[in-house]
Amino acid sequence: MRTHERAANLALAGLSLAPLVVNVNPNVNVVLTACLTVYVGCYRSVKPTPPSETMSKEHAMRFPLVGSAMLLSLFLLFKFLSKDLVNAVLTAYFFILGIVALAIFMDIEASISPSEIDLLQDFNYNGCHALSVEFTKSQIVASIPGFFFCLWYASKKHWLANNVLGLAFCIQGIEMLSLGSFKTGAILLGGLFVYDIFWVFFTPVMVSVAKSFDAPIKLLFPTADAARPFSMLGLGDIVIPGIFVALALRFDVSRGIKNRYFNSAFLGYAVGMTVTIIVMNWFQAAQLLEFDESKVEAEEGGAEEEQDDDSSQVNKKVD
């Protein structure tokens, strides 16, 4: 791990713990936490080999429709069933998911054995197709503290436990999900732009589900306001833009250029997040639309800059 990556990890950890001892402006906390999470996830996504699975244009076009169906289903579940029952089932699900996420995130393979070999376990159920689960010894060791941490989350639902799990989900989502191309990313962000407009501004569904859903699908930022003790940021508003920014970083690495597209995309995300917070406070309404356009425009700017550089190089050669 390089120095700047280690610094980003430490800064993210410190920022997560800071509200326990000092008052941190929630708006500043939201922006910095989101940006640091994207930064960490992007660099973890850079692998020696290309990802085995990528999102196609067809998947990107279907994503807002699938997301809408899931969002509406959750809204109806909370509307017609007991909120406690739904959240109890979700807590059990995220308990297991959290152990796996923390085990992968806290993988301490290097401290056990440099030549550690992956283990493969096959489970058969009544003659059905075998389910293969691959994990390392270090991940098994890491799952032990992960188990007790998730017990703490399930019993106390403390905001810090919620955020640690949420950050682990975000970083791994950015690390593991891969867009096939910038065009696929633009289609995905454009579709989610319309998705956000509809569900946030024209219906109460998005906000209602976010407030009812007692699971680590959102980050909680303590405030000094007793009437509104927490500000919220959905994990999707970190992961979805994050996989686009991560694609830019991997593209830079593959071409051997020094973070041109990554810097443009990351700056676009940071600016979009900042503008979002300003607009949200100004209008006192949920608002997460600026991300999509700001990142796409930032990438277009980076592309135009590279074209200009290429043209200047050609002109120099001609001269």
Whether 84 is catalytic: no
Catalytic residue among 118, 237, 252, 292: 237
DSSP 53-72: --B-HHHHHHHHHHHHHHHH
Structure-token match 């949920």, residue found = 286
Q: Quick one: tokens of 30?
A: 């939201």
Catalytic residue among 196, 252, 308, 310: 196
Q: How far is CA 32 from CA 65, 103, 176, 218, 260, in A?
A: 30, 25, 22, 15, 21
- Distance CA(81)–CA(14), nearest Å, equals 39
Whether 309 is catalytic: no
| Residues taking part in catalysis | 196, 237
